[in-house]
Structure 1
Amino acid sequence: MNVYEQMKEAIITGRYKQGERLTEEALTIDWNVSRTPIRSALKQLEFDGLVQPLKRGFFVRAFSKEDLRQIYDLRALLESYGAGQAALHHQSEDLAAIQQANSQYEQAILASSLPHEERISAVIAANTQFHDAVYRASRNRHIQELIAKVVVLPFIYRSFYWFGEDGLQQSLAAHKTIVAAIEERDGERAKAAMNEHIFKGRDYVLHYYEGGDKFG
């Protein structure tokens, strides 16, 4: 990964906290590079909406409850459309990729003997692969690009850390419903299942944002 990708991952995973000040001087030390790639990375992160400029440096953007609600509304619109299109337009290799990703997702969720951090990291990775496979199956490059920008937010990424066991099982059940609809080329069912899945995730995030306990 280049410096931009590494810094982006650091924000998404919570290494750099919301509201944290980022200076070129500190970042050159963090990443052991000159100021030129740091400046370029900060410009790209500003375009992504993940950092905002200060008089001296940048700070990691903080998201309000209303920001999160609006982002999830948009995410539901895009992802449900993408799932519906995937059901109608997928090729055999697309379906195989979706099925494999969901199998890995299930394995990660069932690996309860793993240390919590390791298990959730595996769940997040498999979930990302699953959703990416669904977007690719839509055969719509523009949808893939739009979704990629919307879902790259720290609260969305880290939401799995706030799921209890019931929450993880509900997420897996939702994935299986989406897969079945895509397998059957049922666009409306796939769209509805993805929409419900995203809004359930929104409820988890907003519940935690308001200081609630884990779901499930």
Structure 2
Amino acid sequence: MQLQSYDTLDHTVYTQLKEMIINKKLQPGELIVQNQLSQCLGVSRTPLRKALAQLEKEGLLAGTPKGWYIKEFTNEDMISVFRIRALMEGLACRLAAPKMEYADIVYLKTLFEEGYRQVRDRKAQAYYQADVRFHKFITDATQDAMLIQTIENNKIIMTSQVQGLYRDPEETIVEHMDILDALAKKDGEAAENLMRKHIEKAIPLLESGEFSIYK
């Protein structure tokens, strides 16, 4: 049997822990018991501690003298997360606009058109997957490693808390296409403003209490 390299093992443990937090197998406010968790994952405490330290950097854990806790987020915290995301992804649009090729726009429009067709067939998951790929494609197109990592860290927190916050595809398909039209024209300022407004439209749901992170 071939043993995993240290780097591969570290990443595997990190991924498993992150999924446990996102899927609420580890509850907000829960103290991490390292001995139990290392036995559960079948690893030593060294890769476990590395993964815990990384997740603390990403904002999912809180470090204290007693150890690590699963961080608890309020609705107000998540409103801040969405505001930061709107600013960062708006910036990503502005930086990506000059670099977007015609083939990129065609690819993204086709992705959404196919996803939207499946929504009408009551298969919404394809549309939401298209949404994830759309945002990631634009972020990656910036080729700005620091911005990409900042947005990724923000999304990790968001995904761990608000997995069920989806807006009506009938509304968002129009917003997505408007963003793509601005990118096709290489109008970074327009694309930035459209992306910011697109993301900020989720904030009133949190502010009004129509959606709670505890649902």
Q: Which runs of 4+ in 1 moved over 6 A?
A: none
Task: Say whether the 8 Å CA contact 2:118–2:127 is kept in structure 1.
Answer: yes
**Identity across the alignment (%):** 25
SS at match of 1:58: strand
Instruction: Name the larger-Rg structure.
Output: 2
1:49 is matched with: 59
Match of 1:37 in 2: 47
Which of 69, 75, 97 aligns to 1:87? It is 97
Aligned match of 1:175? 176
Structure-2 separation of matches of 1:74 and 1:197: 13
Q: Which residue of 2 aligns with 1:152?
A: 156
Pick the aligned partner of 1:18 from 28, 44, 48.
28
Question: For residues 158 and 170 of structure 1, do their structure 2 counterparts lie closer, same or farther at Cα, with a shift above 3 Å needed?
Answer: farther
8 Å CA contact 2:21, 2:160 repeated in 1: no
Is the CA contact 2:116–2:169 (under 8 Å) kept in the aligned structure 1? Answer: no
- CA separation of 1:51 and 1:110: change in aligned 2, threshold 3 A: farther
- Report the CA distance between 1:29 and its aligned residue: 3.4
| 1:82-121 pair list within 5 angstroms | 82-92=92-102, 94-95=104-105, 98-99=108-109, 101-103=111-113, 105-106=115-116, 109-112=119-122, 114=123, 119-120=124-125
Paired amino acid for 1:198: I
Q: Contact 1:106 / 1:172 at 8 angstroms: preserved in 2?
A: yes
Among 39, 62, 76, the alignment partner of 2:72 is 62
- The equivalent of 2:193 in structure 1 is 192
Preserved contact between residue 75 and residue 212 of structure 2 (Cα < 8 Å): no
> Which runs of no fewer than 5 residues in structure 1 stay unpaired?
none
**Counterparts of 2:22 and 2:63, CA distance in 1:** 18
Question: Measured at CA, do residues 6 and 104 of structure 1 come closer, stay the same or move farther in structure 2, by a change above 3 Å?
Answer: farther
Give the distance between the partners of 1:6 and 1:167, measured in 2 at CA: 31
- Whether the 8 Å CA contact 1:20–1:59 is kept in 2: the answer is yes
Contact residue 89 and residue 139 of structure 1 kept, 8 A? no
Deviations 1:45-101 (A, max 9, x none): 111111113454422111123322222222111111111222222245544553455
**Cα gap change, 1:158 to 1:70, in 2 (>3 Å):** closer
**What CA distance in whole angstroms lies between the structure 2 residues aligned with 1:31 and 1:206?**
38
Cα distance in structure 2, aligned partners of 1:209 and 1:63: 17
Q: Which runs of 5+ in 2 are unaligned?
A: 1-10
Structure-1 separation of matches of 2:172 and 2:160:
14
Q: How many residues align?
A: 204
Tell whether the 8 Å contact from 1:95 to 1:137 is kept in structure 2 after alignment.
no
How does the TM-score come out when normalised to structure 1? 0.78
Alignment-mate amino acid for residue 189 of structure 2: E
Cα distance in structure 2, aligned partners of 1:65 and 1:147: 19
Q: Which amino acid aligns with 1:45?
A: L
Preserved contact between residue 28 and residue 35 of structure 1 (Cα < 8 Å): yes
What letter matches 1:189 in structure 2? A
1:164-185 per-residue CA deviation (whole Å, 9 max, x = no partner) reads xx62332232212211211121
Q: Give the letter for the 1:16 counterpart.
A: L
Mapped partners of 1:22, 1:126: distance in 2: 35
